[in-house]
Amino acid sequence: MRYLKRRFNVWWFQIAVPGDCRATVGKDKVYENLHTSDLAVAQVRALDRAAHHKARFLAIRGKDASLPSDAFSSGREWARAELLRIGREIGDKQERETRKALVYELAVEQVLIGHGLMSADELDEDAIPPEVGARLRGIRAAVMDLRETPDEYREPISRTAAAFLANKQRRGSSDRLTDQTVSQMEAVYRLYRDHTGDAPLRLSDKRTGAAFFDKLKRLDRDWGRSGGTKARTLDDLLLLSDREGRRPLSDRTLFRYRLALSQLWAWAKGRDEVAGDDPFEHLAKKGKNDENANAPWSDDAIKAYFAAHPDGSKKGKPDPFFWLPRIALLSGMRLNEICSLRVADLIDGDGVKCFDIKDGKTSAATRAVPIHDDLLPFLDVVPKDGYVFPDLIPGGKDKKRSAQIGKRLGRRFAATPGGSTFHAFRKNVAGTFERHRIPQSEAAQILGHGKQGITYKVYSPHGIPMAQRKALVDMLALPEGA
């Protein structure tokens, strides 16, 4: 019989101490008198003491002991197993019902003994740890045959968030996130976990969310750049921000945090983990200037940039400061799509030379983009194999080849009169298509956006032919003199 040893007609509890905990505990085995000669009573008490000591061993190892949700589930499952055992082993109906009724009372008695309390009247929040109270609630729920888990004992925010991100990143998912985005969302969920004490997401309401965003507005915008950030609590970060003087988070950043929480809520609602409206929905909005961010480049700004950055290419080493903006303006490709191109990705598709984008930001980003005639000189300076831009240095959590060069381009764009951003080149391309009244479904196949609506998205999966795509690309042009 596990955990039990009989001595002089009295049952004792016993459990081996793990090797890495023996120095702290001071022994290799724990023995405790269960003060009963009744085997059924001893079994109930022994399992309770085992749970207590296992949590203690976890704490010694520096791991989280039992969350209230775990303790509730553990207590409920243990009690259900015990009730089944009683029903299976005891034939007399009256004795069986008596023993079942004793399951909760014996568990309470064991808690009283373990915490030096005299009666159940003393079992309040200050007298016992939260996980002990949660375990008792679980045992009581099983005894009373209550099937619904109370809101306060549902999965904590940390686990709900982890399950949400794991679902996003599962193999075959069309919604996979970049490592950088995952890291950013994990940071938001970590802060919210600290704010709520890792309570179940179901307990969040508008007041909880508003109080959280009030705290976020006190954080310095660079709070996440320190190497020790993950080890600091939200309160620690607030103290640092208040002490050192803060530059507040932008409206854009707060909006991104709000989106992360809203996405978590929507996913959890679909799994019946939460109910009701999104409590974060109106807590942060895009900044007033966000619509003007990444504004399309003017012709004068494009000419000014290329005038300051003439082609410095050598055979096998294209000049990224010259060719990256040029390719973007004449293809609509994203920066990392261009930086990730290999020589093997310069293909012939149905008689048309193309950039073959095999892995993009979304599933729609996987596409072939015809090479503009004005980019044919680029093909003369690419290396024989490997990456078309061989000297780029990957950076960031995703090890993107665009990370370092993107920062360097950004500084040069900022020094260009009227300059914008690299992403804004895509707006120049989209604007050209709109001025030529190109249907959105066709423009999307060049820019790598998903088709809207069911007609073309479902019933025309291969899209327009390559020759038609080439005609679209040929509409693009650089300003005269660029």
Q: What's the chain's Rg over C-alpha atoms?
A: 32
pLDDT for the residue 459: 43
Q: Which domains does the chain have, with CATH numbers?
A: 4-153 (no CATH), 157-288 (no CATH), 299-473 (1.10.443.10)
- Residue 106 pLDDT exceeds 90: no
Confidence of residue 58 (pLDDT cuts 50, 70, 90): low
Mean predicted lDDT score pLDDT of the chain: 85
Percent of the chain residues past pLDDT 90, beyond the cut: 43
Q: What are 181's two structure tokens? A: 């985005």
> What are the backbone dihedrals phi and psi of residue 43, each rounded to the nearest 5 degrees, phi first?
-65, -40
pLDDT for the residue 51: 66
pLDDT for the residue 34: 84
- Residue 122 pLDDT exceeds 60: no
What confidence tens digit (pLDDT) does each residue in 402-435 have?
A: 999 999 999 999 999 999 999 999 999 999 999 9
Least confident of 285-289, 444-448, 452-456: 452-456
Average pLDDT over residues 91-109: 83
Average pLDDT over residues 157-181: 84
Confidence of residue 213 (pLDDT cuts 50, 70, 90): very high
Average pLDDT over residues 131-148: 86
Rounded CA separation 464/163 (Å): 39
pLDDT for the residue 127: 55
Average pLDDT over residues 108-116: 71
**pLDDT greater at residue 294 or residue 72:** 72
- Residue 287 pLDDT exceeds 90: no
Contact indicator for 136, 107 with CB cutoff of 8 Å: yes
Indicate the burial class of 156 (C-beta count within 10 angstroms; 0-12, 13-18, 19 or more): buried
- Residue 5 pLDDT exceeds 80: yes
pLDDT for the residue 66: 61
Rounded CA separation 161/176 (Å): 15
Strand partners, 156: 200
pLDDT for the residue 447: 93
Indicate the burial class of 4 (C-beta count within 10 angstroms; 0-12, 13-18, 19 or more): middle
pLDDT for the residue 115: 60
Average pLDDT over residues 182-193: 92
**pLDDT greater at residue 94 or residue 300:** 300
| Helix spans in 289-366 (H) | 299-308, 320-329, 335-339
Confidence of residue 147 (pLDDT cuts 50, 70, 90): confident
The most confident of the ranges 10-14, 104-108, 454-458 is 10-14
The most confident of the ranges 28-42, 217-231, 312-326, 346-360 is 312-326
What is the pairing mode between strands 10-16 and 4-7? antiparallel
Average pLDDT over residues 442-470: 77
Confidence of residue 85 (pLDDT cuts 50, 70, 90): confident
- Residue 346 pLDDT exceeds 50: yes
Average pLDDT over residues 208-234: 85
- Residue 257 pLDDT exceeds 50: yes
- Nearest to 314, CA basis, from 306, 305, 323: 323
Confidence of residue 36 (pLDDT cuts 50, 70, 90): confident
Least confident of 4-18, 30-44, 383-397: 30-44
Average pLDDT over residues 337-354: 93
Q: Please, which residues have CB within 8 angstroms of residue 51's CB and are 6 or more apart in sequence? A: 66, 74, 78, 135
Confidence of residue 293 (pLDDT cuts 50, 70, 90): low
- Residue 289 pLDDT exceeds 60: no
Contact indicator for 180, 397 with CB cutoff of 8 Å: yes
**pLDDT greater at residue 124 or residue 46:** 46
